Amino acid sequence: MSQSKTAGDLATLVKGRLVGDASVPIEGIADLENAGEREIAYVDNEKFFAIAEQSTASCLLVAATALSSVAFRAPAIIEVANPKLAFSLIAQVLYPPVQREPGIHPTAVVAESAQIGSSAFVGPHACVGEYARVGTNTRIESGAVIGANVEVGNECVIHPNVVLYDGVSVGNRVILHAAVCIGADGFGYVRNNMGYHKFPQIGTVVIEDDVEVGAHTCIDRAALGRTRIGRGTKLDNMVHVGHNCDIGERVVIAAQTGISGSVVIEDDAVIGGQVGFGDHTRVQKGAVIGSKAGILPGKIVRPGVWWGIPIQPLDEYKRMNAHLGRLGQMREEIKQLKQELVELRERLKEK
């Protein structure tokens, strides 16, 4: 259920400059093309100015440069430095998170030694193990499993069917989407005469504050020590993080990326979708890795934009792609040159 605010309220919220009617009621958000009465949209690029001029939204968020060049029809305009960020902040206010009545559902199974914080919610058929601790205002949704000696901080949202294996730690304001699995054994084996012998997987996983993990993502426990996901990091759906990885703060990783064991990704790195990491690689702060890239074991990825298999600087990748695009033409040219060479040799023999 959305909330209602005035354009003036929202301008104050995002520290923007209001132009127009501050009393216009705003009840929802929408994209620029479909926004209508009582809705707000944003314009963050000149290519959308023509659409913005025709928009029937009650309020628009625009950059400072737009007001001088576009005649907007909206009754209220909010000028901000970053319209997309302001739009996101407003969405949080108009669509506050779902609130649950505090308490433990009758079908939930909660160990007597577990500690459930005040105002926490434990949903239907959830399970909380021995000596687990769940913080204040945290939501444990239906079917989630919180193992023994697990710590879950305050104001977390644990969505349906999440599994937290024994001994893992989750910080404050963490969101784990449906079917996330944290703390399963890492993929560690030692070869012997009979095949493979399992290497001990007795470490833990530490998820720091303000992390969000997408649905069906798996984060393995360390063999020894810990696997870490740093503060403010965001993982997309179906990401795999291997044992003993150390992922820094404010890292973003897109879907279907696979990270082998003992990989280090430093703060503020950006990882595209379907990237494959060999073990013991290091991604330095400020690196951006494009989708479907492949990183060989032990590689150090320095700051900059990288792409390709094996990974290479973006400019080199573009040059290589340009060459590959000409392979068909080059093949025909080589065939023609070989034919000309044969003919030249024949003429020389005749002389």
Question: Using an 8 Å Cβ cutoff, are 93 and 13 in contact?
Answer: yes
CB 237 within 8 A of CB 247: no
Residue listed under structure tokens 């759906």 = 237
Q: Are strands 189-192 and 195-198 parallel, antiparallel or unpaired?
A: antiparallel
| Distance set, CA 22 to CA 6, 10, 215 (Å) | 7, 9, 40
Nearest to 127 by CA among 110, 149, 148: 110
243: annotated active-site residue: yes
Measure the CA–CA gap between 262 and 64, rounded to whole angstroms.
Answer: 46
CA distance 304 to 137: 40
125, 243, 280, 323: the active-site residue: 243
d(CA 59, CA 183) in angstroms, rounded, equals 46
Q: What angle do CA 174, 126, 161 make, to 5 degrees?
A: 60
Beta bridge partner(s), residue 128: 110, 146
Catalytic annotation, residues: 243
